Structure 1
Amino acid sequence: MDQKVSIVVPIYNVEDYVNRCITSILHQTYSNLEIILVNDGSTDNSGRIAENFAKADSRIKVLHQKNGGLSDARNTGIKQVTGAFTCFIDSDDWIKPDMIQVMLYTANKWNADVVQSAFYYAYNHYTLFDNRNFRQELPPILLDNHQLMKELVINERVKDFAWGKLYKTELIRDLPFKKGVLFEDVFWSHQVLHRVGTYAMVQQPYYYYLQRNSSIVATYSLKHLDMIKGLQERQKFIEKHYKDLSLEAYKVLLKALLIHYNLLVMNKKKDKDGRYRKEIQTAILKDYETFLLASYNEKHLENQLKLFAQHPYINIFYLALCKFTNKLRYRSKEIGMEKANL
């Protein structure tokens, strides 16, 4: 294997993490790398740290630009890519030393357009590995295009994340990330994976996905509603290209709509006139019959939908009652996962 692999790392105000990220890339057992660090207008020492690494290793190229967001930084990096394969790594995450070697070997062995690595949820002192969906002792899982798109919609084994995957560069070069949105991967991933013939999932975790201590309720903003916009775009895409997966896409969209309505209720100051809650309510009622059909095999979701249709607050009361009586078991990331010290 002598193919060049380009690694794109968008950087913005991560001086506490970026050293670990870049060091993990430089320590890869596969050395034919092009490392593109895009400093997206950092106001801390992140840019200087990147430049210091570039002085020590000729494989590193540092690009500086005005702050344009994660999508803009990735797009800038993609324009500079010269490798046959491209990998995105977020600057607060890090990777195992043999990640690129294993993924490239897998891509060549199975002629895979994209290779996905399993990953760790990395907390301050421990990691979690999803052994419900992956078995470290088993070989890669291979998916054809239709299997892949179904997995993407379900979002259990195939995640939206752009990071932690090795792409044939020709597959993504002309598909830029959407600028100015949060959850940019949701807008991007279905367009890319639609082009894939063979997709390989390496079941061993090689990527550490940093989990910062923050509450979604406390940090919620109206930009989080971009998630709904992305899923709505995806639903239309699935409806057009994968008709038989349409109801599954509707189910995922419904769950997101209900969750974000409740988050807006808990953050009324950010939706003072109720405009965004009204938009969500209208979206649900407009496609009520389809959502009802999509949720037929999930009784709890079906109950939520029916109660929401009567009045959104009845559903909220129902959820609170379920939680209080312990009838509703929220799926924590830690349930059924393998835990290890970091």
Structure 2
Amino acid sequence: MRNVDNQLVSIIVPVFNAEPYLAQCLDSILAQTHRELEVICLNDGSTDGSLAIMQAYAARDERIRVIDKQNQGYGATCNRGLEEARGAWISIVEPDDWIEPGMYADMLAFEATFNDPADIVKTPYWRIWMPDTPEQRKLNCSYRRRIKPPCQPFIIRDAAHLLTHHPSIWSAIYRKGFLEKHGIRFREYPGAGWADNPFLIETLCQAERIVYLDEPYYCYREETPEKSKSFALNNTLLPFDRWNDMMDALERIGTRDEAVLRAHNSRGFTYLGGVLEEVDLTNDEVRAAATRMFERMDTDLVLSDAEIPPGCKRMFAELRSMPEPYVRSAPYAWGLVKQGLYNLRNVGPWFTLRTFKKYVTRKSSREGGK
């Protein structure tokens, strides 16, 4: 086992108007049991008190560096952090989240048990559901206990299920040399822009050695339903844009593995379903965007995938101007049963029942009204 105590971890914290949460975030970073850290706090033109908080923390701990810059968005800000980073490992912590004390020590110790250095150490994360409300709960994410590659380290085709969930790029650490070798950087979209989407593909799909530690440390504040609805209504086409950007990255990398492409198809249907909960297919822009996305999917992979709902397959065929396909419902129904059993173990009966009710009430809209 290699010594990891002296390995420097560069933590990139991209900050824009995060005043209510920033102290909790920075306190959690400084409480890490692994002490070799450089904390790169990048103020992306905040108009609240975020900069003053960062500067106060930097005055108390020399491991913190503050970079005050004009507003450029999440991707450009993270790229500046990558340029400034001096560590062997790169981590990203968003300023409204927090991490548990053993995160870096445990991830580095786990990585050191393997003979050769890994490119990425990946973990699950904690969902902070309905944050800052009386209903707040700390839940397992939707892939904990599900990632079971045949061996470790692995490449993504052996755990492609990771590509179907929230990108969660912050529940991982990345070897800096790996990022530099492949020239991996963030897309510089305005605002937040879902820049994590292409970064997920660029990293996991080019890594030759991924190791997975099935223990959550990162606490992710989810959006409330009201904020999610507002985002969907004001950024209706953004999910399609990011799916296409991810597809562009897969094509550029030369990914042809069926498991990876099926996972990316699944993400496309998930994104479309989220849009259709708020804006249906009578919207010409949504219909056109969905059609363009479907045209980039391999028809055989979609129609043979037991995890895609039958109604979604019929919607796919309709928008592709194809004859209505024969769809067997039994494999998908069995998949739902297995998903329900997994949810019972992963998040408990109350949240499983809530998820099932939500699925039933929104099923029709997510399948284009079919």
CA positional deviation for 1:232: 2.6
- Give, in whole Å, the separation in 2 of the partners of 1:33 and 1:120: 22
Q: Secondary structure at the match of 1:209?
A: strand
- What residue number does 2:200 align with? 189
How far apart are 1:231 and its partner, in Å?
2.3
Task: Describe the superposition over 1:216-265 as per-residue Cα deviations: whole angstroms up to 9, x where unpaired.
Answer: 33331454533323323433544532343365146325414642552462
Q: Is the 8 A contact 2:160 2:260 kept in 1?
A: no
User: Relative contact order: is structure 1 or structure 2 higher (C-alpha 8 Å, sep ≥ 6)?
Assistant: 1
C-alpha deviation, 1:202, in angstroms: 1.4
Residue 84 of structure 1 pairs with residue 88 of structure 2: yes
Query: What SS class does the counterpart of residue 220 from structure 1 fall into?
Result: helix
Unaligned runs of 5+ in 1: 313-327
Cα distance in structure 1, aligned partners of 2:281 and 2:50: 33
Matches within 5 A, 1:275-294: 275-284=285-294, 286=295, 290-291=298-299, 293-294=301-302
User: In the alignment, is the contact (CA less than 8 A) between 1:40 and 1:73 conserved in 2?
Assistant: yes
Amino acid at match of 2:175: K
C-alpha separation in 2, matches of 1:227 and 1:306 = 21
Matched, 1:220 2:232: yes
Deviations 1:251-284 (A, max 9, x none): 325414642552462598xx6xx33432323543
The equivalent residue for 1:117 is 123
The 2-side partners of 1:131 and 1:287 are apart by 27
Q: Matches of 2:215 and 2:301 in 1, distance apart?
A: 37
The TM-score with structure 2 as length reference comes to 0.73
Give 1:103 shift: 1.0
Q: Which residue is equivalent to 1:325? A: none
Pick from 24, 45, 54 the counterpart of residue 50 of structure 1.
54
What's the C-alpha RMSD, in Å, of the aligned pairs? 3.3
Whole-Å separation in 2 of the counterparts to 1:19 and 1:41: 18
* 1:320 aligned residue: none
Aligned partners of 1:188, 1:302: CA distance in 2, in Å? 31
Alignment of 1:228-243 (within 5 A): 228-238=240-250, 240-243=254-257
**Identical counterparts, % of pairs:** 23
- The residue that corresponds to 1:245 in the other structure is 259
Structure-2 change in CA distance of 1:247 and 1:64 (3 Å): closer
Cα distance in 2 between the residues matched to 1:107 and 1:100: 10
In the TM superposition, what is the alpha-carbon distance from 1:143 to its structure 2 partner? 4.2
Contact 1:228 1:256 in 2 (8 A): no
Residue 54 of structure 1: how far off its partner (Å): 0.4
1:60 equivalent to 2:64? Answer yes
Name the counterpart of 1:259.
Answer: 273
2:213 counterpart SS class: strand
1:22 aligns with 2:34: no
1:304 aligns with 2:318: no
Moved more, 193-202 or 100-109: 193-202
1:160 CA drift (Å) = 2.0
8 Å contact kept, 1:122–1:128? yes
Post-superposition offset of 1:37: 0.3
Between Structure 1 and Structure 2, which shows a larger proportion of strand residues? 1
Tell me if structure 2 keeps the 8 A contact 1:6–1:81: yes
Question: Residue 186 of structure 1 aligns to a residue in which SS?
Answer: helix
Taking a change above 3 Å as real, the CA distance of residues 338 and 62 of structure 1, as seen in their structure-2 partners, is same
From 203, 225, 228, the counterpart of 2:214: 203
SS at match of 2:215: strand
Residue 195 of structure 1 and its aligned partner are, at CA, apart by 3.0
Q: Which residue is 2:184 aligned to?
A: 175
Compared with structure 1, are the counterparts of its residues 261 and 31 closer, same or farther at alpha carbon in structure 2 (3 Å cutoff)? closer
In the alignment, the residues of structure 2 paired with residue 298 and residue 164 of structure 1 have an alpha-carbon distance, to the nearest angstrom, of 29
Q: Return closer, same or farther for 1:25/1:31 CA change in 2, 3 Å cut-off.
A: same
Structure 2: segments with no counterpart, 5+ residues: 321-335, 349-370
Shift of 1:292: 5.4
Distance in 1 of aligned mates of 2:264 and 2:142 = 27
Cα displacement (A) at 1:307: 4.4
* Counterpart amino acid of residue 93 in structure 2: I
Which residue identity lines up with residue 279 of structure 1 in the other structure?
A: A
Alpha-carbon distance in structure 2 between the residues aligned to 1:222 and 1:80: 34
Aligned equivalents of 1:2 and 1:263: distance in 2? 49
One-letter identity of the residue aligned with 1:306: R
Distance in 2 between residues matched to 1:163 and 1:307, nearest whole Å: 34
Cα deviation, residue 52, structure 1: 0.4
Distance, in Å, in 1 between the alignment partners of 2:205 and 2:124 is 21
